[in-house]
Amino acid sequence: MEKPPLRDYTATNAASAPPLLNTLTPSRRTSSNRAFAAVYTCAIVALFYRHTQTLLSSKTLVSFYVTLTLFVSDLILAFNWASGQAFRMRPVYRKEFPENLEKVVKTSDLPGLDVFICTADPYKEPPISVVNTALSVMAYDYPTEKISVYVSDDGGSAFTLFAFMEAARFAAHWLPFCRKNDIAKRNPDEYFATDYKMSSETEDIKIMYESMKMRVEHVVETGKISEEYNTSDEVRQVFSQWSIDGFTRQNHPTVIQVLLDQNKDKDITGNCLPNLVYVSRQKSKTSPHHFKAGALNVLVRVSAAMTNAPVILTLDCDMYSNDPTTPLRALCYILDPEMQSNLGYVQFPQEYHGLNKSDIYACEHKRLFKVHPVGYDGLCGPNYVGTGCFFRRRALCGGPSTLILPEIDGLCPDSVVNKPLTAPSVLELAHHVAGCNYENQTKWGSKIGFRYGSLVEDYYTGYRMKCEGWRSIFCYPETAAFLGDVPFNLLDVLSQNKRWAIGLLEVAFSRYSTITFGVKSMGLFMGLGYSYYAFWAILTIPITTYCLLPQLALLNELSIFPKVSDPWFLLYMFLFLGAYGQDLLEFVVDGGTIQRWWSDQRMWIMRGLSCHAFGLTEFVVKSIGIPAEGFNVTSKIINDEESKRYEQGVFEFGVPSPLFVTLTMAAIINLLSLIIGLVHFIVDGGSNKEGLVMQLVLTGLIVMNCLPVYQAIALRSDKGKMPTKTTVTATLLASAVYVVASLFLK
Question: 321-337 burial, b if ≥16 CB within 10 A, otherwise e?
Answer: bbbbbbbbbbbbbbbbe
At residue 25, φ and ψ (nearest 5 deg) are: -135, 125
- Supply the pLDDT for residue 520: 96
Question: Does residue 655 surpass a pLDDT of 80?
Answer: yes
Say if residues 457 and 450 touch (Cβ distance below 8 Å). Answer: yes
- Supply the pLDDT for residue 249: 46
Percent of the chain with pLDDT over 90: 81
Whether 409 is catalytic: no
- Nearest 5°: the CA angle 715, 721, 723 is 115
Question: Does residue 265 surpass a pLDDT of 50?
Answer: yes
Predicted confidence band of residue 6 (pLDDT cuts 50, 70, 90): very low
Binding residues for Mn(2+), as ranges, are: 292, 316
User: What's the rounded Cα separation, in Å, for the pair 241 and 235?
Assistant: 10
DSSP structural state of residue 184: S
Helix/strand/coil percentages in the chain, nearest 5? 55, 10, 35
Q: Residue 730: CA atoms inside 13 Å, Cβ hemisphere, count? A: 26
Element (H, E) at 696: helix 693-705
- Supply the pLDDT for residue 290: 92
- Supply the pLDDT for residue 10: 38
User: What's the rounded Cα separation, in Å, for the pair 434 and 293?
Assistant: 13
User: What's the rounded Cα separation, in Å, for the pair 146 and 56?
Assistant: 70
Question: Does residue 224 surpass a pLDDT of 80?
Answer: no
Catalytic residue among 154, 267, 323, 485: 154
DSSP string over 605-625: HHHHHTHHHHHHHHHHHHHTT
User: What's the rounded Cα separation, in Å, for the pair 499 and 714?
Assistant: 30
Quick one: average pLDDT of 714-723?
Answer: 93
Question: Does residue 683 surpass a pLDDT of 50?
Answer: yes
Question: Does residue 241 surpass a pLDDT of 80?
Answer: no
Question: Does residue 395 surpass a pLDDT of 70?
Answer: yes
Quick one: average pLDDT of 401-410?
Answer: 93
Binding residues, as ranges, are: 124-125, 154, 292, 316
Quick one: average pLDDT of 138-162?
Answer: 95
Element (H, E) at 118: strand 113-119
Provide the residue ranges of all domains of the chain, joining segments of one domain with +.
98-486, 536-745
pTM reported for the whole predicted model: 0.92
- Supply the pLDDT for residue 22: 96
Among 407, 403, 410, 566, residue whose Cα is nearest residue 470 = 403
Among 168, 201, 101, residue whose Cα is nearest residue 141 = 101
Whether 323 is catalytic: no
User: What's the rounded Cα separation, in Å, for the pair 690 and 67?
Assistant: 19
Question: Does residue 402 surpass a pLDDT of 80?
Answer: yes
- Supply the pLDDT for residue 248: 46
56-93 residue pLDDT tens: 999 899 999 999 999 999 999 999 999 999 999 999 99
- Supply the pLDDT for residue 9: 39
- Supply the pLDDT for residue 703: 98
Quick one: average pLDDT of 203-229?
Answer: 86
Residue 365 neighbours by CB under 8 Å, 6+ apart: 350
DSSP structural state of residue 697: H
Quick one: average pLDDT of 303-325?
Answer: 96
Predicted confidence band of residue 12 (pLDDT cuts 50, 70, 90): very low
- Tell me the one-letter amino acid at 367: R
Alpha carbon 221 to chain centroid distance? 29
Among 374, 350, 334, 372, residue whose Cα is nearest residue 470 = 334
Question: Does residue 102 surpass a pLDDT of 80?
Answer: yes
Say if residues 371 and 586 touch (Cβ distance below 8 Å). Answer: yes
Predicted confidence band of residue 242 (pLDDT cuts 50, 70, 90): low
User: What's the rounded Cα separation, in Å, for the pair 344 and 391?
Assistant: 6
- Nearest 5°: the CA angle 11, 17, 21 is 95
Please list the residues that pair with 314 across neighbouring strands: 116, 389
- Supply the pLDDT for residue 287: 82
User: What's the rounded Cα separation, in Å, for the pair 575 and 39?
Assistant: 10
What is the maximum span of the chain, computed from C-alpha positions, in angstroms? 88
User: What's the rounded Cα separation, in Å, for the pair 690 and 557?
Assistant: 12
Q: Is the dihedral of CA 178, 180, 181, 183 positive or negative?
A: positive
- Supply the pLDDT for residue 486: 86
Q: Is the dihedral of CA 630, 636, 639, 643 positive or negative?
A: positive
Q: What is the CA radius of gyration of the chain?
A: 28
Say if residues 461 and 293 touch (Cβ distance below 8 Å). Answer: yes
At residue 665, φ and ψ (nearest 5 deg) are: -60, -50
Q: Is the dihedral of CA 569, 575, 576, 577 positive or negative?
A: positive
CATH of 98-486 given 1.10.540.10, 3.90.550.10, 3.40.50.11540, 3.30.420.40: 3.90.550.10
DSSP-based three-state secondary structure for 461: helix
Quick one: average pLDDT of 465-494?
Answer: 95
Percent of the chain with pLDDT over 70: 92
How long, in residues, is the chain?
746
DSSP string over 377-426: HTTT-PPP-SSSEEEEGGGGBEETTEE---SSGGGSTT----S-TT-HHH
Predicted confidence band of residue 18 (pLDDT cuts 50, 70, 90): confident
Binding residues for UDP-alpha-D-glucose, as ranges, are: 124-125, 154
Among 72, 80, 86, residue whose Cα is nearest residue 535 = 80
* 261 Rama class: left (phi>0) / alpha (psi -120 to 50) / beta: beta
- Supply the pLDDT for residue 3: 47
DSSP structural state of residue 350: P
Question: Does residue 209 surpass a pLDDT of 50?
Answer: yes
Please list the residues that pair with 250 across neighbouring strands: 283
- Choice between 235 and 87, residue whose per-residue pLDDT is larger: 87
Quick one: average pLDDT of 136-143?
Answer: 97
> Would strands 147-153 and 275-280 be described as parallel, antiparallel, or unpaired?
parallel
- Supply the pLDDT for residue 737: 95
Question: Does residue 535 surpass a pLDDT of 90?
Answer: yes
Residue 409 neighbours by CB under 8 Å, 6+ apart: 415
Quick one: average pLDDT of 337-346?
Answer: 93
Predicted confidence band of residue 523 (pLDDT cuts 50, 70, 90): very high
725-734 residue pLDDT tens: 999 999 999 9
Question: Does residue 622 surpass a pLDDT of 50?
Answer: yes
Predicted confidence band of residue 340 (pLDDT cuts 50, 70, 90): confident
Question: Does residue 251 surpass a pLDDT of 60?
Answer: no
Predicted confidence band of residue 628 (pLDDT cuts 50, 70, 90): low
Question: 87-101 burial, b if ≥16 CB within 10 A, otherwise e?
Answer: bbbbbbbbbbbbeeb
Count of Cβ atoms closer than 10 Å to residue 528 Cβ: 23
Question: 470-490 burial, b if ≥16 CB within 10 A, otherwise e?
Answer: bbbbbbbbeebbbbbbbbbbb
Quick one: average pLDDT of 424-434?
Answer: 95
Quick one: average pLDDT of 664-684?
Answer: 92
- Supply the pLDDT for residue 687: 61
Question: Does residue 237 surpass a pLDDT of 80?
Answer: no
Predicted confidence band of residue 579 (pLDDT cuts 50, 70, 90): very high
Question: Does residue 239 surpass a pLDDT of 60?
Answer: no
Catalytic residue among 74, 458, 485, 600: 458
